[in-house]
Amino acid sequence: MIRKFSFFIFIFLSQNMIAQNISFYTNKDENFADVTTSEGFVFTCRVGGIENNGDAIILLHGFPETSRMWMNLIEVLSKNGYKVIAPDQRGYSKGARPSKIEDYRVSKLTKDVFDIADTFDIDKFHLVGHDWGSAVGWSVAASNKDRIISYSALSVPHVDAFSEAIVNDEIQTKKSYYIDLFKIKYLPEFYFKIFNFWNLKKVLSSSNKDEINNYLEVFSQKDALKSALNWYRATDLGGSKKIGDIYVPTLMIYGTRDMAIGEKGIDETEKFIKSFYRLKKIDSSHWLIQDSFDVVSKEILDHVNKHASNAQMK
């Protein structure tokens, strides 16, 4: 009965938001929204709890994943009263896949997040990011602190600390060797696609079969893998451009067995945070959501609850 009632609310909201360029639908028991932004891009988003009265939370995935990585967290957060939106980001959504490398600069990925929030008529929101989603999240938090209620960064430290570590920390330099390889044209696409995506499946070894199949369904689309790799080609990690201090309550979660991220940038992140800050190191790999979901989801929920703008959520 409760499930049917929630479904009718979902349909009602979808009908009322079509005029705002949002089209809701369900697929395999998951709720989705195709969101058309002011730039004309259409982002496929997993959503949950849109009918809830709590704060909005936007979840940003990394490479080589999609919003599918957040499926279980969407359920946890929405059941706790929050509105949750997890977009397949630029290059991953079929309707938001521009062709030029410069279209994947962090500034544009950052704008996408605010554009999606604007389309939902959301002013302020909590933010959670993993891997590349974490890097974009740092930029979002730095660029408009008044709109971000709290930030939870998974795996990737403050990008200024990360850039410094890539240049000055021997461990991080070695761990980041793949970044330059991914910037080479054509080669990484060939590497990941060969033998029916065998090498990509190896990277995704912490994910279950259903999750991997979803990722491969996306990366099998025309130019999807190239567009995802263009995030690397458009970036200048280790360069001179900085995002500066963060004035948003921040949670940083790091797996001590991370194959891509060393501890130097993680430990240096605190100096850039000018608000509440909590660092949680756990015995886990880079794939925190898959390998340590119970611990990570609890940390995120506690952090969001602590800083929720809706008093009923606290």
Q: Where is pLDDT greater, at 197 or 238?
A: 197
∠ CA 41-192-88, nearest 5°, is 25
Q: Domain coordinates of the chain in residue numbers? A: 2-313
How far, in Å, CA of 181 to CA of 183, rounded? 5
- pLDDT at position 241 is 80
pLDDT digits (tens, 9 = 90+) for 131-156: 999 999 999 999 999 999 999 999 99
CB neighbours of residue 100 within 10 Å: 9
Q: Say if residue 239's pLDDT is above 90.
A: no
Among 142, 196, 154, which Cα is nearest to 69's?
Answer: 154
Q: Is the pLDDT of residue 18 over 50?
A: no
Give me the pLDDT at residue 3, please: 53
Mean pLDDT along residues 290-297: 98
Structure tokens at 75: 């359920």
pTM of the model: 0.93
Look at domain 2-313 and name its CATH class: alpha beta
Helix (H/G/I), strand (E/B), else coil: 51: coil
